[in-house]
């Protein structure tokens, strides 16, 4: 089955700096890659996603890049703010062939200090 | 429009008991997936329901079963509870790629 690895497990940055979280996946059939933000005691929230026919996608301060050949994708957050502090999860899905089941990484705890 | 809702919020059971968790999907969504999230870990896929059938299943034992109703709501049943079943159980609804999560049910097994 699909195996998603995520690094780093913790990340501490100063407000205004950029943060990068990286994930690798094993199943070459995976074609959908969402990122979720989970604040303490809250539900995971979809913040951005990318499909395999796209190499990069941006939404204001967040962007995701995908390298299908190398089987890795990354989340980039620019101009970080204290409210970006949360646990971020990457996921991969083989899409319709698996009913879009998501395989998650173990998460990155991001701390943005003022 | 309500988002994904789950009940109950918290639940405490003892080993060997059975539990039923409930999920109502976001309006317009016809697919419900269930995930187990242990403390400090990412969600793990249990199974997914579409058109009242289990469409996909993750690596969970048969003690975990589910159901989807004609109104697309869903139940997760766990029999013969083990201490290791203590976790946050999340359901997610979708109508395609994007999955939206409910607030979860925190299950504690004593």
- To the nearest whole Å, the CA of B32 is away from the closest chain A CA by 10
The whole-number pLDDT of residue B49 equals: 95
Core vs surface per residue B70-88: b (16+ CB within 10 A) or e: eebbbbbebeebeeebbbb
How high is the mean pLDDT of chain A? 94
Q: Using one digit for the tens of pLDDT, what is the confidence trace for B62-87?
A: 999 999 999 999 999 999 999 999 99
Give the one of B31, B42, B50 whose C-beta lies nearest to A104's C-beta.
B42
- To the nearest whole Å, the CA of A51 is away from the closest chain B CA by 9
3-state secondary structure of A84: helix
The whole-number pLDDT of residue B78 equals: 98
> Which pLDDT band, with edges at 50, 70 and 90, does A52 fall under?
confident
> Which pLDDT band, with edges at 50, 70 and 90, does A53 fall under?
confident
Q: What single-letter DSSP state applies at residue A65?
A: E
> Which pLDDT band, with edges at 50, 70 and 90, does B109 fall under?
very high
- To the nearest whole Å, the CA of A43 is away from the closest chain B CA by 5
Chain B residues within 8 Å of chain A (Cβ atoms): 4, 31, 33, 35, 40-45, 48, 50, 55-56, 58-59, 90, 92, 94, 96-104
The whole-number pLDDT of residue A98 equals: 61
How many CA atoms lie less than 13 Å away from A95 in the CB half-sphere? 11
The whole-number pLDDT of residue A36 equals: 98
Chain B contact set for A106 (CB, 8 A): 41-42
Distance CA B58, CA A102 (A): 10
Q: For strands A72-77 and A103-104, give the pairing.
A: unpaired
> Is the pLDDT assigned to residue A50 strictly greater than 90?
yes
- To the nearest whole Å, the CA of B75 is away from the closest chain A CA by 17
**Selected residue of A10, A64, A102, A109 to mutate for chain B interface (largest B Cβ count, 10 A):** A102
**Phi/psi at A53 (nearest 5 deg)?**
-90, 5
Chain A residues within 8 Å of chain B (Cβ atoms): 1, 6, 32, 34, 36, 42-46, 49, 51, 89, 91, 93, 95, 98-107
């Amino acid at each position: 089955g699909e195996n998603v690895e995520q690094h780093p497990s913790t990340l501490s940055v100063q407000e205004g700096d950029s943060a990068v979280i990286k994930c690798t996946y094993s199943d070459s059939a995976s074609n959908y890659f969402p990122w979720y933000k989970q604040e303490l005691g809250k539900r995971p929230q979809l913040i951005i996603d990318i499909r395999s026919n796209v190499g990069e996608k941006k939404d204001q301060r967040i962007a995701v890049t995908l390298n299908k050949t190398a089987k890795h994708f990354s989340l980039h957050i620019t101009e970080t703010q204290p409210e970006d502090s949360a646990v971020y999860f990457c996921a991969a899905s083989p899409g319709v062939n698996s009913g879009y089941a998501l395989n998650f990484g173990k998460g990155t705890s991001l701390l943005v200090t003022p | 429009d309500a988002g994904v809702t789950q009940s109950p919020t918290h639940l405490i059971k003892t080993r060997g008991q059975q539990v039923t968790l409930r999920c109502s999907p976001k309006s317009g969504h016809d697919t419900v997936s269930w995930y187990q999230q242990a403390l400090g870990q990412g969600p793990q896929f249990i199974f997914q329901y579409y058109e009242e059938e289990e469409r996909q299943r993750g690596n969970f034992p048969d003690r975990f079963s589910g159901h989807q109703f004609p109104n697309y709501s869903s139940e997760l049943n766990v029999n013969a509870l083990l201490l290791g079943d203590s976790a946050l159980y999340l359901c997610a609804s979708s109508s395609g790629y994007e999955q939206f999560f409910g607030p979860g049910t925190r299950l504690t097994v004593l």
